[in-house]
Structure 1
């Protein structure tokens, strides 16, 4: 194994000599992740607050006097317009209201994402709902019916999630997602340069003629890929946790128009055993990804072609991760933990929520290790094929 460690050290030296690569792969995620997590939500919260507090002009037609006054009470300026729908479509007003045949029809531009028009529409709806409740209350009062008839009972929703799942919040989903994504990004940098990059530089031939078994050459390059991938994952995770901590601390001040916080918060609560299980799962995932990338990079004729091979692999990992947000809609079976990449995401999610079982852990670790060894065997086989290694 001494030769494999030498190859491992050689690849790491090449990585850490490139200061730009170290900065973009290891330091930039720590600096940017808090900004990406917190700044957009902070900006959105302030924009929503300002839009809710500002008095916007709204195109109206056929509005009764009581509805006019209700809109003015909600800091909305009604403006008579013969065609409120057309006025909103042309962008002259953020919202419009038409009263016809006992129906208030509210117009807004709602298909372009979260905009001021949506905020104004909600303000109009809220004002009209308040007016409706007031008129119902007056009608009941005239009939001598107590107002309590409107609320015969109360409904209270209580979060019954386990403590760790409730504490994790949205951060509990983001940690597995970004950990695996950053491992992919960091692994790609080393794997492509250590294979197709060395082909272009002409240094791969000198390495292959050295008295080193091909298995140790492939293992050394794979371990270097794993090491940088894990470091990149840790860097992204640190940035994510830092952003989550800032969001949780300041999120109480960032309220949307509905009064609900818009900042994703949460915290990671892991004991020693769960933390070790999380690290081992990430290591096995990095080992699998690293071996596959080394094999793909060596098969490629050039650095650019290797990047083209690796891109579909990233999509192959990203697609199962997206399904994690829907895991509450289906029952997780034991065989799901045998699916490559998806099983690691499932296990990481379960570890953070404190719901992982020994069977799930065993299936995930064993299957991922088998897949990694098969990928490493494929890399060794590719190293032994001269028609592949030297096909430039």
Structure 2
């Protein structure tokens, strides 16, 4: 039976590779889409940040300070942190609302304490950026005034630091115990634990949908399925072969999407000046093996569901209508668990798809549990067997040839 199933799988692969549009959509597009998308995001973000930093801003200052040198200190600090033109005069809030490069500053004193109010348009990025830089300047002034006051009383400001905080990072390795490198690796691992399960879930299932519907309901409509069924190959072998074909293609699509995603993230970080982030993850051979098994199970269960629904449906339109709600539910699973960490309650590992997400997170962040993995493996394996059985049962009945007349 397996030999016949492999023959069917090979036939499906040959048919797929004859279609240039399918090759482009499943192989070329994933490698191009993410690098282009994230590259453009990085370029636009970088250009936007540069534009905010290089822009010339106008600050209208309303001052009630009695000493001119106090206002001079405020102005000097503001001009030190950016390109700010200072205009002393009444603040016109309508101008600030309409002009993104104009902000206002009301400054006065209550005893020995400076009272400053920054007026800006929070809807506009440049206005928000200018307000942030002004706050930075005022905090610098505050630090200088505090230090000067302490020194005037014969107190060294550094002697008032009673707490010293040092970081020691565990769970990731770094050359010569470099804490910053370990932090960067930890951040990258967190990013992988968040993105990889989501994108694998999304693209393995989404990548299976089009091909799965075409090889089942599509072949029904074209009449090619009935020709295949009259061969000497058992119908169970045909069902298994189609599932294996779809599993292989969904894994290929997901791997190519992941490669494109990593390249895209690297391009985005390069444009943003963060390309020194280490693109490595702390996984040993066992970790990669467990991850591989998990991905295979995800591909198998996705393929089983789609082939079952596709062969049950009487047309491509009907199959799409059945699968779309399931796809939306899986998309919801991915989004709702994206920010979660692994090692949740035991019952999470008994829920299909969710258990795969948390298992992958466990593998990445080092919270792996053999009991949870075994639960996930048994649940998903049982579902795969169930869908193969149900699909084979439909293939062995006349229902497999039912077609809706359009």
Per the shorter chain, which TM-score range? 0.7 to 0.9
TM-superposition CA deviations, 1:278-327 (whole Å, max 9, x none): 22211111110011111222344432443343333233223233344433
For the structure 1 residues 305 and 117, does the alpha-carbon distance in structure 2 shift closer, same or farther, using more than 3 Å as the test?
Answer: farther
Instruction: Indicate whether 1:317 and 2:327 are aligned.
Output: no
CA contact (8 A) 1:171 1:264 kept: no
Indicate yes or no: 2:288 matched with 1:280: no
Q: Which residue of 1 aligns with 2:211?
A: 190
1:67 aligned residue = 74
Corresponding position of 1:153? 163
1:356 equivalent to 2:363? Answer no
1:110, distance to aligned residue in structure 2 (A): 4.0
Distance apart, 1:127 and its partner CA: 0.8
Alpha-carbon distance change, 19 to 388 in structure 1, aligned in 2, over 3 angstroms: closer
Using structure 1 for the length normalisation, give the TM-score: 0.83
Residue number in structure 2 paired with 1:27: 28
Find the residue that maps to 1:267 and give its secondary structure. Answer: coil
Say whether 1:241 aligns with 2:249: no
Give the count of matched residue pairs.
Answer: 381
The answer to whether the Cα contact below 8 Å between 2:78 and 2:134 also exists between their aligned partners in 1 is yes
* Equivalent in the alignment of 2:237: 216
Cα pair 1:350 1:356 within 8 Å, conserved: yes
Tell me which residue corresponds to 2:95. Answer: 87
Bigger mean CA deviation after superposition, 94-103 or 334-343: 94-103
Aligned to 1:106: 118
Does residue 368 of structure 2 align to residue 368 of structure 1? no
Residue 223 of structure 1 deviates from its aligned partner by 1.3
**Alignment deviations for residues 331-365 of structure 1 (CA, whole Å, 9 cap, x no partner):** 52333221111111112222233442322322221
Alignment correspondent of 1:271:
284
1:78 to 82, 86, 100: 86
Q: Partners in 2 of 1:140 and 1:177 — Cα distance?
A: 54
Whole-Å separation in 2 of the counterparts to 1:229 and 1:51: 43
> 2 CA distance for matches of 1:332 and 1:282?
20
Stretches of structure 1 lacking an aligned partner (at least 5 in a row): 256-260
The question of whether the paired residues in 2 share the 8 Å contact of 1:169 and 1:266 is answered with no
Query: d(CA) in 1 for partners of 2:280 and 2:43?
Result: 19
Tell me how far 1:60 sits from its aligned partner.
4.2
Cα distance 1:107–1:344, how it changes in 2: closer, same or farther (>3 A)?
A: farther
1:220 Cα shift?
Answer: 1.8
| Equivalent of residue 345 in structure 2, options 323, 333, 337 | 333
Residue in structure 1 matched with residue 68 of structure 2 by the alignment:
none
Give the distance between the partners of 1:56 and 1:156, measured in 2 at CA. 39
Cα displacement (A) at 1:224: 1.2
Q: Is the 8 A contact 2:220 2:401 kept in 1?
A: no
**CA distance in 2: counterparts of 1:318 and 1:60, whole angstroms:** 51
Q: 1:133 to 1:296 in 2, by over 3 A?
A: same
Counterpart for residue 258 of structure 1: none
Deviation at 1:162, TM superposition (A): 4.0
Aligned-partner Cα distance in 1 for 2:204–2:339: 23
Superposed displacement of residue 83, structure 1: 4.7
Tell me whether 351-360 or 21-30 shows the greater mean CA deviation. Answer: 351-360
Distance 2:91 2:313 in 1: 62
Q: Does 1:40 align with 2:71?
A: no
Question: Over aligned residues, Cα RMSD in angstroms?
Answer: 3.3
Match of 1:6?
A: 7
Alignment check: 8 A CA contact 2:304 2:384 kept: yes
